Amino acid sequence: MNLFLQQVINGLNVGSIYALIAIGYTMVYGIIKLINFAHGEIMMFGAYFAFIAATSFQMPVWAILVLVMTIMAIIGVVIEFVAYRPLRNAPRLSALITAIGVSLFLQNLALLIFKPEPKIMPKLFPEMTVSIGGIDISSTTLITIGLSLVFMVLLDLYIRKTKQGRAMRAVSEDKDAAILMGVNVNRTISLTFALGSALGALGGILYSVAYIQIYPTMGVMPGLKAFIAAVLGGIGIVPGAMLGGFIIGMVETLTKAYLSTTWADAIVFGILIIVLLFKPTGILGKNTREKV
């Protein structure tokens, strides 16, 4: 039983990181119906910047988090402005292809700047083991899960309680009606990219602390799995992304623990196929009928 609980904790650890990244996918999709494939690279750059801040400038952890999340929020906004805004009224396929292009561009940019050899992330959090009811949990795991949950709750409150949050929901529901109501659509979309990218950067930092290596293609796999998490929870729905992230993390870890390590990825990607076949709107999604 203890072994099982330990594996559940492992699953929550991976899942919370997937959830953070999935939120970025889902927010952007919700507001401009674009699957931002460059999101995994935002996560990667976040990890690199955290590495530089920690090794070259010896900054404290809180400063690293604040600084890197701010930088990545700005970069997210710039990417939207340069790559996606000119295509706002183009067919959705063009924007999707652009997103893949941006993703490849950022990967190769990182390859050029940082070289392919992995960098080793220093230990940002104090290292110790906490024993709760016979289960040993490392401080890194606790902090990863804790920080993710805090930021997810903050985001949820922001979207539901503030004026900007309401503007975001309005734009995602009906862009034209939102314009008529006096919502600044461009600014709202920028804000969405900023928030999503900041959370993606946090995911990148936590991921690199947990798995210690930082390299130019590190965002690809977690990015894909977070995308599946977003689809599973219902793309466009923020709580769905969180739920999806935790489910994917849990499925992956328990498969590795009790079935087979070689099947873990196959099962995770299998989930995507099953969801798309039987409930394309995801767990929390509602079937809406298009009115003509």
CB 133 → other proteins: shortest distance, Å? 16
Q: Which of 55, 70, 108, 129 binds other proteins (CB under 8 A)?
A: 129
CB 257 → other proteins: shortest distance, Å? 4
120 binds other proteins (CB under 8 A): yes
CB 119 → other proteins: shortest distance, Å? 9
Pairwise CA distance, residues 248 & 42, whole Å: 21
52 binds other proteins (CB under 8 A): no
Do 272 and 247 meet the contact criterion of CB atoms below 8 Å apart?
no
136 binds other proteins (CB under 8 A): yes
Of residues 254 and 284, the one with the C-beta less far from other proteins: 254
7 binds other proteins (CB under 8 A): yes
227 binds other proteins (CB under 8 A): no
Q: Which of 107, 140, 172, 197 binds other proteins (CB under 8 A)?
A: 140
Of residues 7 and 164, the one with the C-beta less far from other proteins: 7
Token representation of residue 14: 């991976």
Looking at the DSSP bridge assignments, the partners of residue 213 are: 120
Of residues 149 and 264, the one with the C-beta less far from other proteins: 264
The set of residues, in sequence order, having a beta carbon less than 8 Å from that of 270 and lying 6+ positions away, is none
Report the site for other proteins in 252-271 (rule: CB under 8 A).
252-254, 256-257, 261-262, 264-265
Number of amino acids touching other proteins (CB under 8 A): 29
Query: Which one of 59-67, 70-78, 132-140, 231-239 is the stretch in contact with other proteins (CB under 8 A)?
Result: 132-140
Please name the residue that has the structure tokens 């690279």. 41
Of residues 133 and 182, the one with the C-beta less far from other proteins: 133
Of residues 77 and 264, the one with the C-beta less far from other proteins: 264
Pairwise CA distance, residues 93 & 125, whole Å: 42
Q: Residue 148's closest CA among 251, 259, 286, 22?
A: 22
Do 285 and 50 meet the contact criterion of CB atoms below 8 Å apart?
no
- The residue length of the chain stands at 292
Pairwise CA distance, residues 22 & 249, whole Å: 12
Return the number of other C-beta atoms located less than 10 Å from residue 94's C-beta.
11
Query: Which one of 27-35, 47-55, 76-84, 208-216 is the stretch in contact with other proteins (CB under 8 A)?
Result: 208-216
Q: Is 88 exposed, middle or buried (0-12, 13-18, 19+ CB in 10 A)?
A: middle
Dump strand ranges (E) for 61-210: 119-120, 129-132, 135-138
Residues that bind other proteins (CB under 8 A): 3, 6-7, 10, 13-14, 118, 120, 127, 129, 136, 138, 140-141, 210-213, 218, 221, 252-254, 256-257, 261-262, 264-265
